[in-house]
Amino acid sequence: MIALKLAIRNLTGAKLRTFLNAAVLSFAFVVLVFYMGLLDGWNRQSKLDMEAWEIGEGQLWSKSYDPFDPYSLQDAHSIILTSYNSEIDRGNITPILLVQGSIYRQGTLINIIISGIEPKQRLLKIPSRVLKSESKEVPAIIGSRFAKVNGIKKGDYVQIRWRDKNGTFDALDVEICNIFKTNVSTVDNNRIWIPIKRLQEMSGLLKEATILVTSNPNIDMPPTDWIFRDKKYLEKEIDNIIFAKKRGSIVVTILLLSIGLLAIFDTQVLSIFRRQKEIGTYIALGMTRMEVVKLFTLEGSIHSIFALILATIYGLPLLAIIASTGIPMPSAVDEMGVSIGEKIFPYYEIGVLIVSVLIMVLAATTVSYFPSRRIGRLNPIDALKGKIK
């Protein structure tokens, strides 16, 4: 308790030096929390977008379907079980039929995946409701990136070609009824969406589908023609990317902490040099060398406490405002083909904040201890004379 009172008195007496050290350390802490929150927000937003636009709560795959092999689409279709019809009518299951095809645009042949989806579905955010059309024309929707790359606008007609289940090629014109914007590239890139019944008729795959997206992760398993993939399996790729990004962020974390800890380290070294007579007086008055080491180490730890208080004063409202308004992303990012929203909303987890606080306090204590060890080798008489060797 005596050491704590002395440490606080010494730091409050230093005034400007203490404030500057705490300010530097608090700035490094706020930037660190912001950076970690930005990564977590980006990762969380990516997974939520995937669930909302593509995978739902899980998917049933036709047993021959392989998303990494487009040539498997010719055989990747199975009969939709009649037991699922009630769930489809209630909107709990959305069937999707995938057929490999191509479009002709400005004299160029572009390979695409023709995706059939139920117009009345609400399980996914794909705006399929615009596909409700009573005209003879086949309505279609595409993503904004695919439209921009190929110069397609709303209201345009594009010619698509496909091969039916018997291997016969056919073609027709479809009308682009809507162009939607999404952050999920697999829903956008080289995809054209039309009503599933139209695609089933065009391909001869009546009452068949490639994927059944479900809102029920505990759906009854079908016998043989379908394989259930849960969210953990479907998000495995993005989880690997997130893990790699977090490993890479360790370097940035070390650099940010080093900025503040270096100031504390320099302050402790300078304090030991300037306060030689004070150290000798402590020892002469009966304090052991380890008690004096403890005093100087405690001063470094209290620097981190002051930094946390200062960071809370200006950092908490600042980070809260950024989390609510988001960080706008430049349009150049979208042109580079990076799947990212117009804004990134940082996400701060309580566990991450607690760990960050503990790391900063522990690091500040450790950095303060190393230069303070020199006090243990002092001769009290030399210290009183101001001679530290």
Per-residue model confidence (pLDDT) at position 133: 67
- In this predicted model, what pLDDT tens digit does every residue of 328-348 receive, in sequence order? 776 655 555 455 667 788 888
Per-residue model confidence (pLDDT) at position 96: 94
Per-residue model confidence (pLDDT) at position 142: 93
Per-residue model confidence (pLDDT) at position 237: 81
How would you write the pLDDT of the chain (389 residues) with one tens digit per residue?
666 676 677 667 667 777 877 887 888 888 888 888 888 888 888 888 888 999 988 898 988 888 888 778 888 888 888 888 888 888 889 999 999 999 887 777 889 999 999 999 999 999 999 888 655 678 999 998 899 888 889 988 899 999 888 888 899 989 999 999 888 888 988 899 999 999 999 999 998 999 999 988 877 666 678 888 888 888 888 888 777 777 777 777 777 777 767 766 766 666 666 666 676 777 677 777 777 777 777 777 787 888 888 888 988 899 889 888 888 776 655 555 455 667 788 888 888 788 878 887 887 777 777 766 666 566 666 555 555 55
Per-residue model confidence (pLDDT) at position 272: 67
Per-residue model confidence (pLDDT) at position 337: 47
Per-residue model confidence (pLDDT) at position 212: 92
Per-residue model confidence (pLDDT) at position 389: 52
Per-residue model confidence (pLDDT) at position 115: 94
- In this predicted model, what pLDDT tens digit does every residue of 56-102 receive, in sequence order? 888 989 888 888 887 788 888 888 888 888 888 888 899 999 999 99
Written in H, E and C, the secondary structure of the chain is: CHHHHHHHHHHHHHCHHHHHHHHHHHHHHHHHHHHHHHHHHHHHHHHHHHHHHHHCCEEEEECCCCCCCHHHHHCCCEECCHHHHHHHHCCCEEEEEEEEEEEEECCEEEEEEEEEECCCCCCCCCCHHHHCCCCCCEEEEEEHHHHHHHCCCCCCEEEEEEECCCCCEEEEEEEEEEEECCCCHHHHCCEEEEEHHHHHHHHCCCCEECEEEECCCCCCCCCCCEEEEEHHHHCHHHHHHHHHHHHHHHHHHHHHHHHHHHHHHHHHHHHHHHCHHHHHHHHHCCCCHHHHHHHHHHHHHHHHHHHHHHHHHHHHHHHHHHHHHCEECCHHHHHCCCCCCCEECCCCCHHHHHHHHHHHHHHHHHHHHHHHHHHHHCCHHHHHCCCCC
Per-residue model confidence (pLDDT) at position 114: 93
Per-residue model confidence (pLDDT) at position 39: 83
**What are the structural domain ranges in the chain?**
2-51+237-384, 58-216
Per-residue model confidence (pLDDT) at position 2: 66
Per-residue model confidence (pLDDT) at position 356: 79
